Amino acid sequence: MGNILVTGGAGFLGSQLCAALLADGYHPIAIDDLSNGRRENVPDGVPLLVADLSAAAWMELLAGQRIDAVVHCAAQSSNAISFRDPEADLLANQLATWRVLQYCAAASVRRLIFTSSMSVYGNPPSFPTPSEEVPRPLTYYAVHKAASESYVRMQRDLDWTIFRLYTTYGFGQNMSNLNQGLVKIFLGFVLRGEAVSVHGSGDRLRDIVHVSDVVRAIMMSLNAPASFGGTYNLGSGRPMRVREIIGKILECAGKPADYPVQYGPADPGDPDRTHADVSAALRDFGWVPSVLPEAGIAETVRCHLAGKGDGR
């Protein structure tokens, strides 16, 4: 498998996946509308196609190009934003996924990996939550992700894998986007010297997963037939309370324990607890998370304090 199309390839996860694919001898091609990603994120040597995935015209950009697999990472991934403009969310998530499936059929691409979200579970009844749990979406974003999963499962000519990502974090996220990425949002406030603004209780439990573990899961499953037709949770399996996450960020950033933190009303559809059962990924293709949340938070803060990023 040589040529891999990565949608959202200029974004946080997509760009790091492109780098990993390139390092492993693949030939990734990034496609992104640059609504949240940046050209500078795309590794040298990886072509970038700028296009809106919800419009069918982007497929013409790949005319005559053999694509061996598609990893569909592109999304509007904020529950809060989905309430502000449900129609835009439908286009960015459901319709864009449908276009990707149309492309796979037209170009005879058999391998597809789709990054979905733990948001499809809503407030699940069991913890840790298995991937067999029935989705109960509570936001437009989650509804659109759940519907997109159904589109993927209906494709008889695809070897597909669905990954439900828990709160993904690490160095390289868009720091100016205050609507997605819990760890990044809190860290952004601290780096700017602002009070940390929290939507909801500090006692909420969050399962956070380091981006390197997500990239590794995708890489491991790419050529693993046992993962074809499977739906998997990607989390750390070690939830932390929101106040503990903030406390670790403050500690690693050298801030006092009484740094100002302001708690306000929760966003609609925001669950009280997330906790992934990741045993299916271990069973089928040997993946286990390797970055513990506290160590991952510390590394993320260190990277920013070392000046490796521009605060974006």
Q: Does the pLDDT at position 309 exceed 50?
A: no
- 141, 166, 169, 232: which is the annotated catalytic residue? 141
Which are the contacts of 258, defined by CB distance < 8 A and separation ≥ 6?
A: none
Q: Does the pLDDT at position 264 exceed 90?
A: yes
pLDDT (0 to 100) of residue 308: 53
Q: Does the pLDDT at position 310 exceed 90?
A: no
Query: Does residue 259 carry a catalytic annotation?
Result: no
Q: Does the pLDDT at position 229 exceed 90?
A: yes
pTM for the model stands at: 0.96
Give the model's confidence band at 80: pLDDT under 50 very low, under 70 low, under 90 confident, else very high. Answer: confident
Residue ranges in the chain assigned as alpha helix (H): 12-23, 79-84, 86-90, 96-106, 140-153, 182-191, 211-222, 242-252, 279-285, 293-305
pLDDT (0 to 100) of residue 311: 38
Q: Does the pLDDT at position 20 exceed 80?
A: yes
User: What is the distance between the alpha carbons of residues 153 and 147, in angstroms, rounded to a whole number?
Assistant: 10
- Its sign, for the CA torsion 10, 14, 16, 20, is negative
User: What is the distance between the alpha carbons of residues 59 and 151, in angstroms, rounded to a whole number?
Assistant: 19
pLDDT (0 to 100) of residue 93: 96
pLDDT (0 to 100) of residue 307: 73
- In order of their start, the domains of the chain are 3-172+209-237+272-290 (3.40.50.720)
> 80, 282, 291: which is closest to 178 by C-alpha?
80
pLDDT (0 to 100) of residue 1: 62
Q: What is the mean pLDDT of residues 244-265?
A: 97
Q: What is the mean pLDDT of residues 51-65?
A: 97
User: What is the distance between the alpha carbons of residues 48 and 210, in angstroms, rounded to a whole number?
Assistant: 25
**Cβ–Cβ under 8 Å, residues 163 and 214:** yes
Give the model's confidence band at 237: pLDDT under 50 very low, under 70 low, under 90 confident, else very high. Answer: very high
Which are the contacts of 6, defined by CB distance < 8 A and separation ≥ 6?
A: 14, 17, 18, 21, 28, 29, 30, 31, 70, 71, 73
